Structure 1
């Protein structure tokens, strides 16, 4: 069994909060509040000086490479509002975030993989007020979640773009960001008002160097799904000053994050005590179901703010991280046999049966 990789990242204090006392202090894989906490609550703790490059290298790079090899992968940032989740995922011009680094890394990895051919499709969705909207096609709103044996859990009607370069993907990503819901609160000038999922579907098959036919009769197609998720932050109405539309958005955000916390709690209890796991209570957890409890390699970055005013929210985030650290899952390569491969397998089985029949007659 593989453990889901969990990290805590402490953002630097922002200008209006510099007069507040900093209570949380990272130390190795622990974090302290006045005094060190005895048990490590995550696999890594990143302090205020840490860059997105360091987070990516230690926490996400391995998952990205595994996705190219056929493993499902997910990376997402969780935490209170204004704690640095969007910066971790999107970054800046001087310090690109996980999404930008992952996209470039995928295409570099593909270029080095000379024995396989690849097809990459990307999509970008948001969950706003518990409704799924397509950020590549604004007319595609209120999309539904479906499940099938071939595709697993997927969003019906979501636009997918076939891409062949990192530059093309990042251009599409930027166009989708324009359609995302943001708003101003007392806690954040540009607060994310929706959860977003940037998805890359990576298909590959081995190159047939010994046959003139289009497909190798013995090959299988690997299909992996990579989810890069920027969650909206949990928030307290009294601190954000939310009202009207912002208040409604905050309620939906907090509800879906509460369900995510419940799912994490159930998964961390152990196989015998889990019982029902409420994936279907939220569209966020339903979409992320394979990443949390199934066939996927997953990393969770829990972001916190270091100031005194955020103590209670930080405790909740650290509790989430501690529970997530105890979850295990089993990731496997996803392979689908081509029609040619199935035909060859059937021919071999028929030939084997014929030989057995002739042997019994003799």
Structure 2
């Protein structure tokens, strides 16, 4: 071409189209259905009386969902394809990208809708049929378009394409023939005969396909040649995602196979299908354990002006693709009963589908509310791969497959809600690139017609004959009749002169053209030299870039292998973490069981302690009763002794001299004043020198005496002498106690619980009718089981000084009154208990 071609790119379209969502209801036989098709756009989902969790539902009303179109149980595969996928094939041929995926729970018919069976093909085989039916007459020679590894294509000439084809054929003959995986029922397949009518005849088309699966959030190539005899990939390497110059996501280093017919396409498709990961579950006999992505790419390039060869410019090549995705079904573990590897696969499938739902919800929120939230495409390989469709241009369609069985009610509700929400997402309408090359339309058809005509005539005349040079008209019919015919000679001379001048003019023009051609040739030669130098420079730079690219590729392969190893290590660590978590849960459960056992033991111990305490209390009570009975017997014996002593004293009183009548009468009065207290033997007493009574009765009666009941030296006494009372202590009749500890108040329990203290004595003095009376309340200190002490009173001694000069009878007072005057109410109570009981226990 003398001038470079001109191209004009169409402006990016600002118009948007919603995501088209279609619903297909799977037919069921002999089971209850919870989904009913109301019309071509609406379905009704009725809440079952008992859902799959075994809970009765009180909401008996149905929920309606509206879609672009609803296919009922009786619709055929042909109807689904014509309504959903045929427009995508038209857009693919015209240069538009498309995305179609099936979505639903396990066992809802997604794979059947996408693939079908050989005798009743699904969407994918019908797309291939219609595509090759439409472009069969305008297909390019194989290897004219060659992938460049960066999601683009290089254009080769027919000669280079033929050399590559021969090279491939030689490699095939040298290799050991491997069994081509194919479907046994491929011969019974019924092809689709539809075709797209609007196909540009002045372009050549080539078709490339790739087949990958997303398994456990890793991408694997199903067409990789490193397979065994059973067509299973040995040690598959995961692929990475990259972004090309047009910001489109693609799988790096994926195998793209150029196909020229429908049969080749099906051979490639079934090859990948046999390598796809499938497994048996409770919900489906052949359940997909990965997301399958089958991509068809159509490469289109215009022909030259002659219409016989593709233009070699790479930047005018148009590339469009259609991705058909068969999503793995969402499933619940409580229904599938998966474990181990199947449980891990189900978790990754559910996570990727949840990421897809999250991305759709954020897209809708950004478009409806005008927000700019970050969409987490990179959280899943599935959403990251198709990011270009939602952020760029393309047609996006979804087929939601639902199973109307009552057991799938809960899962179907979630699927239908997500599908109905997806219709609110807007995608930019694709607008294919158009080039203005200035070529005549229909040139390819004209070239074919010209070749047909030349072949029918049997010659090789080129339709371009060039310029025809002529010296003039043909010679006139001159005939010389006579030798002197001058007119004829003159006419011939003029004719020859004219031809001679014409010849000179043509010669001059030819010389000028030769000179011009020579100058142009010299200029072209110079330009050629410059171009060669430039080409050499470019080749050197290209070679350097290739070396750099090879280094980068090797580094990339190394890093990919490292990345794969790290991913495997991460997976192993995650498994270890899950194992450790399970072990930790078991340990926690064991600790909880031990805590519960300890609590039970503690309760049992408390009950046992309570029973032991009650038994101890009963034993103590029984011992107290025995001790009481013993002390009562002793007191009876003492009372009997006291009665005898009283009788003896009474007899001795009659025999004493007269000067002792006052003292004897006072002693007798001391006995008769308190008859209920019992008789106390006479004691030796001493009269203090500072006593007022002593001052009044000074004389031979003033002498110090010792109480006859003074304690012996065994043990230590606790001498309790309260400071309250009308008279001070140490006045008259004080006991002589050697080992004692004197206290005025019993506020410290240690005074009683001291192991060295074994006796207790409470001393009180009172003025009774003008006479000084001293009382000694004696008892034994006994330790208690609780760590304290108790006093058991066993003796009361009353000492009274009687004035011999006083004739007025003494006013009788009770022991309780005197104790009240000396020690207060509490002392009176203690005295009452001690005197009345003669040994009753009194606890301090």
Partner of 1:286: 384
CA distance in 2, matches of 1:146, 1:336: 27
Query: CA 1:213/1:246 → structure 2, altered by over 3 Å: closer, same or farther?
Result: closer
CA RMSD of aligned residues (A): 2.5
Aligned counterpart for 1:136 among listed residues 223, 228, 231: 223
Deviation (angstroms), 1:213: 6.9
Map residues 73-92 of structure 1 onto 2, 5 A cutoff: 73-92=98-117
Is residue 255 from structure 1 mapped to residue 351 from structure 2 by the alignment? yes
Are the aligned partners of 2:355 and 2:383 in contact in 1 as well (CA < 8 Å)? yes
Q: Take 2:309 and 2:78, find their aligned partners in 1: how far apart are those partners?
A: 43
Report whether the alignment pairs 1:25 with 2:36.
yes
CA displacement 1:104-142 (0-9 Å, x = unmatched): 111122236323201211100000111111001136521
Deviation at 1:334, TM superposition (A): 4.8
What whole-Å deviation, never above 9, does each CA across 1:267-302 have from its counterpart, x for those lacking one?
Answer: 222421351111111000111112344311111001
Q: Match for residue 346 of structure 1? A: none
**What is the TM-score with the length of structure 2 in the denominator?**
0.38
What are the equivalent positions in structure 2 for 1:266-305 lying under 5 Å apart? 266-271=362-367, 272-273=370-371, 275-305=373-403
Give TM-score scaled by structure 1 length: 0.87
C-alpha change, 1:146 and 1:184, in structure 2 (3 Å) is same
SS at match of 1:154: strand
Distance in 2 (alpha carbons) for counterparts of 1:256 and 1:61: 28
Alignment match, 2:261: 165
Contact 1:41 1:321 in 2 (8 A): no
Q: Report if the CA contact (8 A) 2:302-2:311 is conserved.
A: no
How many Å separate the matches in 1 of 2:83 and 2:351?
A: 31
TM-superposed CA distance for 1:215, in Å, is 1.5
Q: CA deviation at 1:208?
A: 3.0
**Aligned residue for 1:348?**
none
Gap change, CA 1:10 and 1:212, over 3 Å in 2 = closer
1:4 paired to 2:19 = yes
Aligned to 2:517: none
Q: Give distance in 1, aligned partners of 2:371 and 2:127.
A: 36
Q: Which is further off, 269-278 or 205-214?
A: 205-214
2:425 corresponds in structure 1 to: 327
Separation of aligned partners in 2, 1:264 and 1:226: 20
CA contact (8 A) 1:69 1:333 kept: no
Residues 30-179 of structure 1: pairs in structure 2 closer than 5 A: 30-34=42-46, 37=63, 41-111=66-136, 113=199, 114-137=201-224, 138=233, 140-150=236-246, 152-179=248-275
Structure 2 residue 320 is the aligned partner of structure 1 residue 224: yes
Alignment of 1:200-215 (within 5 A): 200-210=296-306, 214-215=310-311
Alpha-carbon distance between aligned partners in 2 of 1:337 and 1:162, rounded to the nearest angstrom: 25
SS in 2 for 1:269: helix
Residue 211 (structure 1) shift: 6.6
Residues 220 and 336 in structure 1, CA contact (< 8 A), matched pair in contact too: no
How has the CA–CA distance of structure 1 residues 214 and 66 changed in structure 2, closer, same or farther, with 3 Å as cutoff? Answer: closer
Deviation at 1:338, TM superposition (A): 12
More strand per residue: 1 or 2? 1
Higher relative contact order (CA 8 A, sep 6+): 1
Structure 2 residues not aligned, in runs of 5+ = 1-15, 47-60, 137-196, 225-232, 440-844
Check 1:109–1:315 CA distance in 2 against 1; reply closer, same or farther (3 A cut).
same
- CA 333–206 in structure 1, closer or farther in 2 if over 3 Å, else same: farther
Q: Which runs of 5+ in 1 are unaligned?
A: 342-362
Q: Does structure 1 retain, via aligned residues, the 8 Å contact 2:94–2:432?
A: no
**Alpha-carbon offset, residue 331 of structure 1:** 3.1
Return the alpha-carbon distance in structure 1 between the equivalents of residues 215 and 108 of structure 2.
20
CA distance in 2, matches of 1:177, 1:93: 13
Q: Say which structure is richer in helix.
A: 2
Kindly name which structure, 1 or 2, has the bigger radius of gyration based on alpha carbons: 2
The Cα shift of 1:154 comes to 0.6
**Does structure 2 retain, via aligned residues, the 8 Å contact 1:146–1:153?**
yes
User: Does 2:410 correspond to 1:312?
Assistant: yes
Count of paired positions? 336
Residues 146-185 of structure 1 deviation map (CA, whole Å, 9 limit, x = unaligned):
1121472111121111111111111100011010000011
Q: 1:115 to 1:219 in 2, by over 3 A?
A: farther
Farther-moved stretch of structure 1 (271-280 vs 254-263): 271-280
| Cα distance in 2, alignment partners of residues 71 and 249 from structure 1 | 34
User: Quick one: distance in 1 between partners of 2:35 and 2:94?
Assistant: 39
